[in-house]
Amino acid sequence: MAERPHLAGVTVLDLSSVGPASRCSRILADYGATVIKVGPPPRKSGVQIQPPYWSYSARRGMRRLQIDLKASDGRAAFLRLAAQAQVVIESFRPGVAARMGIGYADVRGVNPRIVYCSTTGYGQDGPYARWAGHDLNYLAVGGYLAMSGRRADGGPALPGATIADSAAGGMHAAIAILAALVRCAATAEGEYLDVSVAAGVLWFMSLPIDQYLATGASVGPGQDLLTGRYACYDLYAARDGRWLAVGAIEPAFFANLCNALGLERWVAHQLDDARQDEIRADFRRAFAARDRDEWVRELAPRDTCVSPVYAVSEVVEDAHLRAREAFVEARHERHGSFRQLAPVLAGTDAPAAPYAVGDATAAETEDLLRQVGVSGQEIEKMRREGVVP
């Protein structure tokens, strides 16, 4: 563990329960920020999603405040917390936080240095701003699905991970917040951040979008090197039914692969469109002759850009990832011990001992409120009125 985590001293109030905003606060917590998850008391939670105990890394290293923000005392207490925080993250529909009295203007009124991040699917304005959506919708609107692989019926394939939520939204928001904190340190000025997940998908799609805008050339799956036009960048089945990923883009790597497979005749035809069907057919026959892991052992060390296509059950047992300490132990007060993904982003640190994670429904409401000067009498009044549990 680092002696002082990167974001030590940064307090984040996270009003989300799931989705991009929660992905963002997970990143900030792994870099050492004090993240306080803010949600309603259990009996007033309404349709708020309560994720499984293991999700979002079991909310390790986070604290929880349960408070009714629709009540005047609840709003006032939240603003007292916000006055001493550095970051607020919310994921309500556009305008909802402001109507509740906890929007950027409200928080800025008590803390001019606040970095206030709103995460939505399509942004705070524009024709789609009030559309409901999820990961798949944002990938669709941003062009990602149309550029991806195809199902048997010719339609776009469902992605295997929530790419929009985790990266186009969560990482996008975290990067924006970190940049705003750096600016605030230099200027003492806070900032409002309008994080659109769909805009984050556009950033992912910058290569094909910029190609189309600059040249007018048609873009789509199978039309360029990275989307399946050439045999050197594709997936191949091995004898045991498992798959290999081949990414031999550079001519030297392609030559190494062809030579290793006994297919030297194709070295000079890597980008010859007229020969791609023949090259693929030969690659398929060659890879089908041996099991996946046999090929990996032979080819991966020889600069061929060949790797195994792992199932999740194989990922978590991979020798390289385990050597890199990609997985850690956690201990839940009700569910016992289990493994989870470690903080794997550069600059984060895993603990020497298993993480102790609590029940997501448990809260430290009274302690957190007392820390910002809310009196025991005030807390008791809020408890009687159902504002806090």
Q: Which residues are catalytic?
A: 134, 165
Residues with Cβ within 8 Å of residue 40, at least 6 apart in sequence: 46, 48, 66, 67, 68, 69
User: Nearest-5° angle of CA 389, CA 92, CA 39?
Assistant: 15
Helices (H), 111-260: 135-141, 144-147, 163, 172-187, 197-204, 206-215, 251-260
In 3-state terms the chain splits into helix, strand, coil percentages (rounded to 5) of 45, 15, 40
As separate numbers, helices (DSSP H) first and strands (DSSP E) second, the chain gives 17, 12
For 274, counting Cβ atoms within 10 Å of its Cβ (0-12 exposed, 13-18 middle, 19+ buried), the class is: exposed
> How many residues comprise the chain?
389
Give the separation between CA 181 and CA 190, rounded to whole angstroms.
8
Give the separation between CA 44 and CA 365, rounded to whole angstroms.
15
Closest CA to 15 of 87, 105, 99, 122: 87
| Integer angstrom CA distances of residue 275 from 36, 230, 265, 280 | 58, 9, 11, 9
Closest CA to 77 of 16, 13, 27: 13
List the structure tokens of 187: 């200027």
